[in-house]
Structure 1
Amino acid sequence: MLGFMWSVLNGFLHGVALLGTAQVDAATVAPFLSQGIGVMTEWMSAYADQIDAGEYPAVDSTIDTHLAAMEHLIQESESLGINAELPRFVKTLTGRAVAGGRGGDGYAAMIEQFRKPAVTG
């Protein structure tokens, strides 16, 4: 639960920092992102079924598509002077999935990256 909590809260904080560069305040961002959590809840249920089955169809989009969007978020963050370490970390994990042949799979295939020991050094 802690990993989930910190991931969601840090994503919120990064989004608030990013949108703050356009003078959008946190109180405006919060309801929009709260609504998005409802959508992600539906995805989690579908992803859980895929993970349990060991099959990761690209129903909504591929990991390759997510990787391109992550690169856009990193570039946008950096161009606005916002810390991009969080999306860069996620992109690193996603890049490993693509390098491992998972680029055409659905995002639930990322579970395979979390099942591996951390890469150090």
Structure 2
Amino acid sequence: MAVLGLMWGILNSFLQGAAVLGAAGVDAARFAPLAKTGITTVAEWVAGYAEQIDKGDYPALDATLNTHLASMDHLVHESEFLGVIAEFPKFLKALAERSVADGHGAEGYAAVIELFRKPSGTRE
């Protein structure tokens, strides 16, 4: 099930990106090589994120969660500007906002795991 969730997250991210670029006149086929490079880059971070998760320590090696949140805001606005459905980037932004509200804004993105560890419907 964890791998299926991973697959859908990657595929939905690709589809969202293809929709944004499509609205700007860029074919999905032109986006595909860049998407593959991006997916490969992110895949290379997984082992380091896993180590951070296991240690419970989330250093901001590339950027803080606050920085990621600002970039997510840009994706939401760009999607809306281009007339592309923005629920997926809004969902990602909402997760980041909750993590920041929980005190993780100065930490790295892996700190979002603490939000996922909570039972559904809780804010504690």
Bucket of the pairwise TM-score, normalised by the shorter protein: over 0.9
Instruction: Please name the residue that 1:99 is paired with.
Output: 101
Q: What CA distance in whole angstroms lies between the structure 1 residues aligned with 2:7 and 2:37?
A: 16
Q: What CA distance in whole angstroms lies between the structure 1 residues aligned with 2:121 and 2:82?
A: 30
- Match for residue 53 of structure 2 among 42, 48, 51: 51
Instruction: Please name the residue that 1:14 is paired with.
Output: 16
Counterpart amino acid of 2:47? S
Counterpart amino acid of 1:14? Q
Contact 2:76 2:86 in 1 (8 A): yes
The Cα of 1:38 is off from its aligned counterpart by: 1.2
The Cα of 1:118 is off from its aligned counterpart by: 2.3
Counting aligned pairs with the same residue, the percent is: 57
After TM superposition, the score normalised by the length of structure 1 is 0.96
Gaps of 5+ in 2: none
Counterpart amino acid of 2:72? M
Q: What CA distance in whole angstroms lies between the structure 2 residues aligned with 1:29 and 1:119?
A: 36
Q: How many residues align?
A: 120
Counterpart amino acid of 1:53? K
RMSD, aligned α-carbons = 1.0
Contact 2:24 2:82 in 1 (8 A): no
Q: What CA distance in whole angstroms lies between the structure 2 residues aligned with 1:25 and 1:118?
A: 38
Moved over 4 A (4+): none
Instruction: Please name the residue that 2:7 is paired with.
Output: 5
Counterpart amino acid of 1:51? I
The Cα of 1:21 is off from its aligned counterpart by: 1.4
- Match for residue 67 of structure 2 among 53, 65, 78: 65
